[in-house]
Structure 1
Amino acid sequence: MNDFESFLKSLPESPGVYIMYDEKGNVIYIGKSKNLKNRVSSYFHDKNLSHRIRQMVNNIKKIEYIVVNNESESLILEANLIKKYKPRYNILMKDSKFYPFVMMSKDEYPFINSTREYESEKYEYFGPYTDSRIPYNLVDVIQRVFKIRTCRKLPKKLCLNYYINRCSAPCENKISKEEYTKNYEMAKEVLRGNVGNVIDYLTEEMKKEAKNLNFEKASFYRDSIRLLESLEEQKQNVFLPGSNLNADVIGIFESEELASFFVLYIINGKVSGKTAITVNKNDEEDYIEKFLSDLYLIGGRLEIFKSFDVQVITVPSIKERIARFFEKIGTNVFVREPNDESESKILDTATKNAEISFNNHFSKFDMYSKEGKELAKILKIGDYISIIDGFDIANYSDEMAVGSSVRLIDGTPSKKDYRIFKMKWTTGQNDFGMIEETVFRHYRRVLKENRQLPDLVLIDGGKGQLNAAISALRKLNLELPTISLAKEEEKIILPDGDELILPKNSYALRLLQRARDEAHRFGNSFIRRMKLKTLF
């Protein structure tokens, strides 16, 4: 702290953005404040910071700052810098899910597909569907009944779908534009929910063909009707029947330490997705603004507002603060409370889910904190271990072997950091060689992309696998704390050859087991997918 004392005294009492670096020059945290001096100083004087942020403070080697004219500029600059650098300590506890739509293109011979993305200028959307199986079933039925193409670009020759009677092949003019358009319009009627009208039409066509003794065509219509009737059983969950409301419904549940926000995304009166974000209030100058910035600026949710006229519905306690946020970023969004009983029920649903998310994170928050602290103490690696990279090898006899790499941040899987490595230069049943190749290729890529290094490297295996991993790291001139965990007796092996066996109820052991087992699961799930491909 003494190293920064004179720097802290020189900081201006102005709005701005601060950037924190570690000893290798990596950006580890970016924040903003209306008073740079007070905010940056608080990291070194506030005793209520979380273990995670205290660990960050111990890793700070340099701080830079940018003074801006007002809070609005600092908010937008912070979001842009976080998107650019993706600092490890800016990650919030987030869980997002967007429900799928069925989309139809707007070109001459439209195609159909399921999607979770919005591009309203290019496509027409139907849904969303809270049961993710429904859009895939719809596309499948429409393909079989109306022979609508699913390829995004017309191919230059006939594809398999034509030969298995699932596409009418407009690419080779196997169908007239008029006939394709008629089928396309009937498909849209099905997607709009007017299945009965289409069934009535096909029933009449079936009777005509049967009367003309064209039994093959009649049986096709009969099978098509049965498929469409099956869709009638898959009704869509609509929160606001008959409504075209587009809104983000925000619920909140909080304590003195944590605040959980739960957002339901409503498009055309239906739930299109949800996001749960939990913020540690002691770590943030304005925790509500931090949540909103992460969701709308950093997370890109604001882009949806360009496609749909979206309102925000929330509780009275945070309504004004949300409205001020949108004013700061220069976006015109109507923020309000529910207008009627049905909207109140949606907000109650969001609030109840915020409480569930809070309870889940509160228990995990306490457990992960204990795990990270205990493991750091046992291994004598600082005060807290946040990031663990786990490695394993998965084999499919002599035919295939892959290395898997997973990352846990504060005990939680960070799936965007998962990687699979197909062996390039290691052959045969050589586990040591495969571990060395996997670790070497993984961290060579991490260094090339200037990504964050872990606090601990965990290898699934014994002394041989551990030494192979250490050898790979030395080739890259990396010195990372590295251990292995052997399944037999759950034995921890250290680089100097010492072995540790922790009690089965140890927090530290539980964290290591979770990382080891996740690497094992990820590698084997990839092998299973490859097996299926070879079988079919």
Structure 2
Amino acid sequence: MSSNETHIEPAEAAQQVSATAARDRLLAEVLALPSLPGVYRYFDAQDQVLYVGKAKNLKKRVCSYFQKDHGGTRIGLMVAAIARLETTVVRTEAEALLLENNLIKALNPKFNILFRDDKSYPYLKLSAHAYPRVSYYRGAVERRHRYFGPFPNAWAVKESIQLIQKVFRLRSCEDTVFNHRSRPCLLYQIRRCSGPCVPEGQGPDYARDVRNAERFLLGETQEVMDGLQAQMMAYADALQFERAAEVRNQIGALTRVLQQQAVDENSATGRDRDVDILAVKVQGGRACVNLAMVRGGRHLGDRAYFPKHVEEATAVALDDAEEGEALADRASPERQVLEAFMAQHYLEAQVPGLIVVSEDVDEGLAEALGQQAGHKVTTQAQPRGQRRIWLEMCCKGAELALARLLSEQGSQQARTRALLDALELGVEEIDQFRIECFDISHTAGEATMASCVVFENHQMQSSQYRRYNIEGITGGDDYAAMRQVLTRRYSKLAEAAQLGTGRLPDIVLVDGGRGQVAMAREVFEELGLDLSLIIGVEKGEGRKVGLEELVFADGRPKVWLGRDSAALMLVAQIRDEAHRFAITGMRAKRASVRTGGSRLEDVAGIGPKKRAQLLQRFGGVRGVAAASVDEIASVKGISRELAEEIYRVLH
């Protein structure tokens, strides 16, 4: 064999042949796709979803990925990683849009723009009651009550409740309080409630105020004002001057509210009573979509959203555009981010009839949202008058929110780099630098809980946090607890890392000094892991903040980072988060143990119905625990044998 020839091992040659055959099968599958509308998904060799897309013509769209040479671009890396694909044929583009975004939210693909699924919008609620209560509400709605919103934040709801109390004097007390009052409360004295809890405040006037409050929230402010003026004149004509004065005061309060809200009465009619305003800003590889809400003609505030995978997704989307789209539109990250937000956000949210946007969006998107909502949805990109003012405010909010995020990220990246420099760690991809931190929490040995928090990509990754119930140790033995949690965490991960299917963190941080580090060292030696990963955070002299030192398991001398060190700030941030996560879990576990928790459900023969009967009879788990066997057996459906078993479990 000449010196210029390359020797290929048989195993490597077989692997190359297998990869080529797999690629050929994939291309054959692509060529066999139908020329119909649908949704496609790309998967890598580990069966992780890479990308979800929709197409009018599945065959044409998917073939375009494999007919071009994308080189070393992001889309080139994605295409090279595709091991298989799945497709779903649909009837219309609207169905394709809905399915695509449902899959994006469910699968979290690496090359799609992804917004956090936020169903936590608050509402203002008017209860179904003879004398309805106005209250803040968050959760699933019930048809028997009236709901107004959604509102962008809790502050907007509470401000609206204060306005309702000032102008219409509706009650805000709980029904249990309302039903047991014998005299009006302080809110009645300061004229924030008409006192329907007592006979003097009950009557048709309260129902009238409720109707006016509903109309005000729906944006019918002029109608409410006209009705109050007519009511005032009617009382005056009937010589009921005290009542007329009360209505006059209501009119004055409503006038002041409208002036404070700066509602443009000419624009707050028709569709402008309920409007969403969307502004997008893309900078520095990150994006912000700011959503402002107008409900009932009142500007309620805004909320900023920050999607993930912006750089990857916008690079792929350049090739994932419909044929015939303008080049400027295809190359606009702002439009891609905005359309992704609209599709994902309005899948399950209420869609107003008008959406004012900072970028032109696909007309088919508004049509699909309208079909989903059951009414026409219009988008407007270049508004005038009041809508333009709203859009300018929203754009400014997006710019400020993104600038704040980039500033925070820059600070966090600087902290990450400072820690790497302080520890002399050579990490190729700083964005992939990962720290896992452990802490132990208990109360005098009771309800021992261990926490593991994760820091990666310059931020805490709360979705990857884990808690561990520590059992089978002497109460209060923190070393044994640390041994148990590290063994449980890394025993399987060590095997996976050796096989190349798992990844160990770059640093394992333990909250403790030499003793905890020594215990972690024993676990890592038993598992055959690198001891240099372990770092302990030892309290300084007098346990003062800023004097902490880092202790190493591989024998390196202790390091003091300095009171004002950015590296110490990062270490303290991670350690404090591990402590918070451990102590909240410990408190919940301790409360569960002390009250019996769900042990009642663990008794064989106790289902939801019998458990509810027991809790209702004895007033809670503590009451059941305090009951005798005979008392438990007296509950309908509870036999003597079952009562004895319940007593045994609870004692």
2:104 is the counterpart of 1:82? yes
Output the amino acid matched with 1:46: G
2:155 is the counterpart of 1:134? no
How far off its partner does 1:516 sit? 2.2
Find the counterpart in structure 1 of residue 40 from structure 2: 17
CA change 1:132–1:77 in 2 (3 A) is closer
1:518 to 577, 585, 596: 577
1:340 to 384, 388, 393: 384
> Equivalents in 2 of 1:113, 1:475: separation in Å?
58
SS at match of 2:348: helix
Output the amino acid matched with 1:514: Q
> Equivalents in 2 of 1:475, 1:136: separation in Å?
61
> Equivalents in 2 of 1:165, 1:440: separation in Å?
62
CA change 1:487–1:466 in 2 (3 A) is closer
2:126 is the counterpart of 1:104? yes
Find the counterpart in structure 2 of residue 459 from structure 1: 510
Output the amino acid matched with 1:280: V
The percent identity for this pair of structures is 19
Note if contact 1:8-1:40 (Cα within 8 Å) is conserved in structure 2: no
Note if contact 1:470-1:482 (Cα within 8 Å) is conserved in structure 2: no
Note if contact 1:130-1:272 (Cα within 8 Å) is conserved in structure 2: no
SS at match of 2:349: helix
Whose strand fraction is larger, Structure 1's or Structure 2's?
1
Find the counterpart in structure 1 of residue 397 from structure 2: 353
CA change 1:485–1:113 in 2 (3 A) is farther
Find the counterpart in structure 1 of residue 292 from structure 2: 264
Note if contact 1:263-1:350 (Cα within 8 Å) is conserved in structure 2: yes
2:278 is the counterpart of 1:250? yes
1:275 to 304, 313, 322: 304
Q: Which moved more, 1:232-241 or 1:328-337?
A: 232-241
Find the counterpart in structure 2 of residue 303 from structure 1: 348
2:83 is the counterpart of 1:63? yes
Note if contact 1:20-1:29 (Cα within 8 Å) is conserved in structure 2: yes
Output the amino acid matched with 2:127: S
Output the amino acid matched with 1:515: I
> Equivalents in 2 of 1:39, 1:369: separation in Å?
35
CA change 1:355–1:135 in 2 (3 A) is closer
In the TM superposition, 1:36-435 aligns within 5 A as: 36=62, 39=65, 45-47=71-73, 63-67=83-87, 75-86=97-108, 92=114, 100-106=122-128, 112-117=134-139, 119=141, 121-126=143-148, 128=151, 131=155, 134=158, 150=174, 186=209, 192=216, 238=261, 240-242=263-265, 243=268, 245-255=273-283, 257-269=285-297, 270-271=299-300, 273-278=302-307, 280-284=310-314, 285-286=316-317, 287-288=333-334, 291-292=337-338, 294-299=340-345, 301-305=346-350, 309-315=352-358, 318-319=359-360, 321-327=361-367, 331=371, 333-337=377-381, 339-364=383-408, 383=429, 384-385=431-432, 388-394=435-441, 402-415=449-462, 428-435=475-482
Tell me the alpha carbon deviations over residues 186-239 of structure 1, each in whole angstroms, 9 at most, x when there is no partner.
5665675899x8xx99xx9xxxxxxxxxxxxxxxxxxxxxxxx99999999746
SS at match of 2:125: strand
Aligned Cα RMSD in Å?
Answer: 6.0
> Equivalents in 1 of 2:162, 2:505: separation in Å?
47
> Equivalents in 1 of 2:408, 2:294: separation in Å?
29
CA change 1:256–1:126 in 2 (3 A) is closer
Find the counterpart in structure 2 of residue 486 from structure 1: 537
Output the amino acid matched with 1:412: Q
Q: Which moved more, 1:244-253 or 1:346-355?
A: 244-253
CA change 1:484–1:30 in 2 (3 A) is farther
Note if contact 1:101-1:115 (Cα within 8 Å) is conserved in structure 2: yes
> Equivalents in 2 of 1:374, 1:418: separation in Å?
24
SS at match of 1:302: coil
> Equivalents in 2 of 1:323, 1:78: separation in Å?
17
Output the amino acid matched with 1:17: Y
Tell me the alpha carbon deviations over residues 132-191 of structure 1, each in whole angstroms, 9 at most, x when there is no partner.
58369759989xx9777746xxxxxxx6775677999xxxxx999x95997676566567
CA change 1:108–1:146 in 2 (3 A) is closer
Find the counterpart in structure 2 of residue 216 from structure 1: none
CA change 1:416–1:48 in 2 (3 A) is closer
Note if contact 2:419-2:567 (Cα within 8 Å) is conserved in structure 1: yes
Output the amino acid matched with 2:310: N
CA change 1:416–1:186 in 2 (3 A) is farther
CA change 1:426–1:268 in 2 (3 A) is farther
CA change 1:107–1:146 in 2 (3 A) is closer
How far off its partner does 1:65 sit? 1.2
How far off its partner does 1:431 sit? 2.4
CA change 1:493–1:63 in 2 (3 A) is farther
CA change 1:443–1:296 in 2 (3 A) is farther
Note if contact 1:251-1:261 (Cα within 8 Å) is conserved in structure 2: yes
How far off its partner does 1:114 sit? 1.2
CA change 1:109–1:529 in 2 (3 A) is farther
> Equivalents in 2 of 1:476, 1:160: separation in Å?
60
Tell me the alpha carbon deviations over residues 499-535 of structure 1, each in whole angstroms, 9 at most, x when there is no partner.
6748668877654443223223445677899999x9x
CA change 1:7–1:356 in 2 (3 A) is farther
How far off its partner does 1:348 sit? 0.9
How far off its partner does 1:66 sit? 1.9
How far off its partner does 1:4 sit? 6.4
Note if contact 1:102-1:135 (Cα within 8 Å) is conserved in structure 2: no
How far off its partner does 1:359 sit? 2.3
Note if contact 1:102-1:113 (Cα within 8 Å) is conserved in structure 2: yes
Count of aligned positions:
472
CA change 1:531–1:77 in 2 (3 A) is closer
How far off its partner does 1:353 sit? 1.9
TM-score relative to the length of structure 1:
0.62
> Equivalents in 1 of 2:462, 2:584: separation in Å?
14
2:52 is the counterpart of 1:31? yes
SS at match of 1:250: strand
SS at match of 1:348: helix
CA change 1:304–1:257 in 2 (3 A) is closer
SS at match of 1:342: helix
Higher alpha-carbon Rg? 2
Stretches of structure 2 lacking an aligned partner (at least 5 in a row): 1-14, 56-60, 186-196, 218-223, 236-251, 318-332, 494-501, 540-546, 595-651
CA change 1:415–1:290 in 2 (3 A) is farther
SS at match of 2:303: strand
